[in-house]
Amino acid sequence: MNKISKHNFYIFPFLWLLVLCLSILESFTFPGFLYKSIFFGFQFFLLFYILSGFLLRSKILILSKNGNNFYKFLGQLNNILLPIILLITFITSAVEVANYRDYFLNKIHLQPKNLYWTSFIVLFAVILNLKNLGKKWFLDKLILQREKSSIIVLALLGWLVVFNIRSISGIVFKNLFFIAQHPLVDYDFKMRYQWGDFYDYMVFLRENTPSEAKMAHPPWEIPPWLSTGSQPLVRYFLYPRQLFQTKDITSLDPKADYAMIAWGFWQCPQKPTEKYFGQCSYGWPKVKINAEWIIYKEEKSARLKKKIENTIYDPDDKINKNAWGLIKIKKEP
């Protein structure tokens, strides 16, 4: 054991440099690059680094010295590196969230989330370098009492801390950034952000129909109308209007006074194994309808673009391609 401790004085700085470089390497390639290349993941080397660090700390404690000049230099270097690397990690994460996912990957082939590991490596070295607080500090207590199980579990919990911070940083930054950029926006803006044009379309329908309207809408769970065809979802925005749908995409419930013109928000299935592959087509209704009037919605807005009175809705008409609107059905006397 003494031989290992003796050699560890030289091994630790090497491991520190190795894991630091490896974490930066994976930040500029991808997480798991090492595992794919040499069948030993980054965390494998990290584990040795942590164990070497604990062993080093125990040696320093026992010898009651804070290491030689080289170690003092290493300690000071890590103290300087820590705020820099933390700042880089948080700024890159925040900038990525403010722009788009994989922003830095596209610009400079960097994955900011992996820099959390780099931060942990430097932070660990800083903690190891903290002055000997005697037996009071729990880490020293653990090492002095050779509590292997506690050391292993604490190391695993430390890993979990980094893992968790990494996993939530994206969503936290994204939300905070959005709020900071749009602090006083109204309900419509927020719902438009979450639901896009679907929300505008719901507002359009709500503003152009009375509350007692009876409206036909596309069938349920059939692409591309997975949202406009979801009766519970549409009902949330249009209640107390009554909604009608049939299972057949070519028919319309006769009880309806109105009918949606829904091109379809969802993509048709692309793979042969997917349901409705080859049977999906955009645009609903699929039949001609006598209309008292037809109104069309403006793109990316809830405003009315055009109204045509006393006409026939024809699904093959060019005007109905990529269209979103509403038909007031002309009822036979």
Partner 1 sequence: MLTIFGILLMGFWGLLITLLCIPQMRPIERLGLSFVLGIGLSVVLMFIALFIGIELTLMNLLFFLLFSSFLLFLFLKRQLVVFSQQFRQIVSIKNFQQNNFLEKWLIILLLGLGFYALVISLYWPVHAWDALTLYDFRGKILADPQAASAYIRGEFNWFYYGYPLLTSLSNTFVYLFGGKNPLFLSGLFYISLGVLFYGAVREFASKFISLLVTFLLLAHFQLIRHVTLDYSNLPYFTYFIIGTLYLLVWMVKEKKGYFLIGSILIGLSVLTRDQEPFWLVNFVIISLYALNRRKFIYPLIFLLLTAPQRFFWGAFKEGVAGSVFETSRQVQDSSYLINRLPDLGKLKEVFVFLYGVFSGAWGLPILLSFSVVLIFSLKELRKTKNFYLLLFIFGNLGALFLGTYISTFTLPGWEDISDSVARISVIFYPFWLYFIATSSIFQKIFPDKKIKK
18/49 Cα distance (integer angstroms): 9
10 Å CB burial of residue 64 (0-12, 13-18, 19+) is: exposed
Query: Do 300 and 200 contact (CB within 8 A), yes or no?
Result: yes
- Dihedral through CA 266, CA 271, CA 273, CA 276, nearest 10? 40
- Position among 17, 63, 84, 161 found at the interface with partner 1 (CB under 8 A): 161
Residue closer to partner 1, measured from CB, 4 or 153: 153
* Shortest Å distance, C-beta 199 to partner 1: 9
What tokens appear for 257 in the block?
């006074």
Does residue 172 touch partner 1 according to CB under 8 A? yes
Does residue 194 touch partner 1 according to CB under 8 A? yes
Tell me which stretch binds partner 1 (CB under 8 A): 49-57, 89-97, 99-107, 154-162. 154-162
Does residue 233 touch partner 1 according to CB under 8 A? yes
- Position among 33, 44, 90, 163 found at the interface with partner 1 (CB under 8 A): 163
Does residue 132 touch partner 1 according to CB under 8 A? no
306/308 Cα distance (integer angstroms): 7
Does residue 160 touch partner 1 according to CB under 8 A? yes
Does residue 70 touch partner 1 according to CB under 8 A? no
- Position among 1, 181, 187, 333 found at the interface with partner 1 (CB under 8 A): 187
Structure-token match 């010295």, residue found = 65
Nearest to 117 by CA among 150, 148, 158, 146: 158
What tokens appear for 49 in the block?
């680094």
Nearest to 252 by CA among 280, 215, 283: 215
Phi and psi at 60, nearest 5°, equal -65, -40
How do beta strands 304-313 and 258-262 pair? unpaired
Residue closer to partner 1, measured from CB, 30 or 193: 193
- Position among 21, 63, 87, 179 found at the interface with partner 1 (CB under 8 A): 179
- Position among 149, 181, 270, 273 found at the interface with partner 1 (CB under 8 A): 149
Per CB under 8 A, residues contacting partner 1 are 138, 141-142, 145, 147, 149-150, 152-153, 156-157, 159-161, 163-165, 167-168, 171-172, 175-176, 179, 187, 190-191, 194-195, 230-233, 235-236, 239-240
